[in-house]
Amino acid sequence: MKLNIAVLPGDGIGPEVTKQAIKALQAIALEFDHSFSFTHAPVGAIAIDETGNPLPEKTLDVCEATDAILFGAIGDPKYDNNPDAKIRPEQGLLRLRKSLGLFANIRPVKAYDTLIEKSPLKKNIIQGTDISIYRELTGGIYFGEKFLSEDGDTASDLCLYTKKEIERIAHLAFKAAQTRKNKVTLVDKANVLESSRLWRKVVTEIAKDYPEVALDFLFVDNAAMQMILNPNQFDVILTENMFGDIISDEASVIGGSIGLLASASVGDKYAMFEPIHGSYPQATGKGIANPIASILSAAMLLDHFDLTEEATVIRKAVEKSLLLNITTPDLNTEHTVSTSKVGDFIADYISNPNDSNLNFSNIHLGQSTII
């Protein structure tokens, strides 16, 4: 298959983790005889520095002209501590999601057996966790009308949803549940918010089209508690934009590191793949950022084009790196391996999964991955 992929590395650790995902994709292209080309474009703080715009017109053009987008991370502390900044790196990501109509953000959360001891949560609670979060991505409080009074003393953000916006992501969530454990949990705050009551009404109606899928409801405060109390009760979680943002960071604790969580953002026409972690500015350039979330986002990209076998090969290579503890400091305090060495290992393993060739003790010494 021929794929043109837009690469938007963004800020902080974005460029270094995205580089590792590209290595994995290049290894796949070679092994499976595909042709993947990569077109880089700036977004976020780096784009503001270069052009004054967090999403330059040219970057959007590149995204619209390619088959899929691989996104790194966004954000820079020089904007975080300045509430008066009118131009912010995050606007680049939000405009990208809105302009490309990426209304569904899919975030898988899994407890890997090999990492079960790494999570701060108890093994018996997290073992077997396998959740798919469907977060609405182009509506709600993120995109509703914003208001700041002249005197700067009053502000508001409107949370607005239409029936259509709810329906289109709800269908995707129910379809996903059909291929999994046939359960959808709608997370909302219907005891307080009118918009959440609309979600309940619309989703209850859609559930009738999927009689084999069980639908239940949880208020978001309770869901936040249930997520770490009994994550095994969840299959597909369907929720609005901001609740999904918060719940998915919380869910990352189950896997042992936020550096493991990948995501796909899809719409009717375009698709973008990105780790759920942020730009982690303190780690920039130190080679300590975990590239696995980005590499697993590349696997989701392959899934999107029905390259299922290829995606499985990437996931197997990731699992092998976890099993052999070829991991960055978030997962491994004794023999840490750098971001790019983890990427090298995974790419090498894709090309040569034959265990007997691996000399992983050398990897911990920072030497070659394969002898």
Q: Which does 62 bind (CB under 5 to 8 A by kind): ligand IPM, Mn ion, none?
A: none
- 79, 142, 280, 349: the active-site residue: 142
Query: Quick check: is 153 catalytic?
Result: no
Catalytic residue among 221, 286, 306, 355: 221
Dist CA 277 CA 259 (whole Å): 6
Q: Shortest approach of ligand IPM to residue 293 CB, angstroms?
A: 11
93 binds, among Mn ion, ligand IPM, none (CB under 5 to 8 A by kind): ligand IPM
50: burial class by Cβ within 10 Å (0-12, 13-18, 19+)? exposed
Q: What is the biggest distance separating any 2 CA atoms in the chain, rounded to whole angstroms?
A: 69
Q: Which residue among the candidates 189, 210, 270, 341 is catalytic per the annotation? A: 189
CA angle 306, 309, 311 (to 5 degrees): 75
Binding to Mn ion by residue 274, rule CB under 5 A? no
- The set of residues, in sequence order, having a beta carbon less than 8 Å from that of 140 and lying 6+ positions away, is 159, 160, 161, 195, 240, 241, 242
| Angle of helix 241-255 versus helix 220-229 axis, rounded to 10 | 10
Q: How far apart are CA 262 and CA 296, in angstroms?
A: 6
The residue number whose beta carbon is nearest to ligand IPM equals: 90
Candidates 157, 249, 303, 316; catalytic one:
249
209 flagged as catalytic: no
249 is annotated as an active-site residue: yes
136 binds Mn ion (CB under 5 A): no
From residue 124, alpha-carbon distances to 119, 251, 253, 332 in Å are 11, 16, 14, 21
DSSP state of 112: -
Only one of the segments 222-230, 243-251, 299-307, 354-362 lies at the binding site for Mn ion (rule: CB under 5 A); that segment is 243-251
Is 344 one of the catalytic residues? no
Catalytic residue at 355? no
Which positions touch ligand IPM (CB under 6 A)? 74-75, 90, 93-94, 245, 276, 278
CB of 279 to ligand IPM, least distance (A): 8
Q: Does residue 245 belong to the site contacting Mn ion (CB under 5 A)?
A: yes
Q: What is the DSSP letter of 51?
A: H
113: tokens are 């057996």
Which residues are the active-site residues? 142, 189, 221, 245, 249
Enumerate binding residues for Mn ion (CB under 5 A): 245
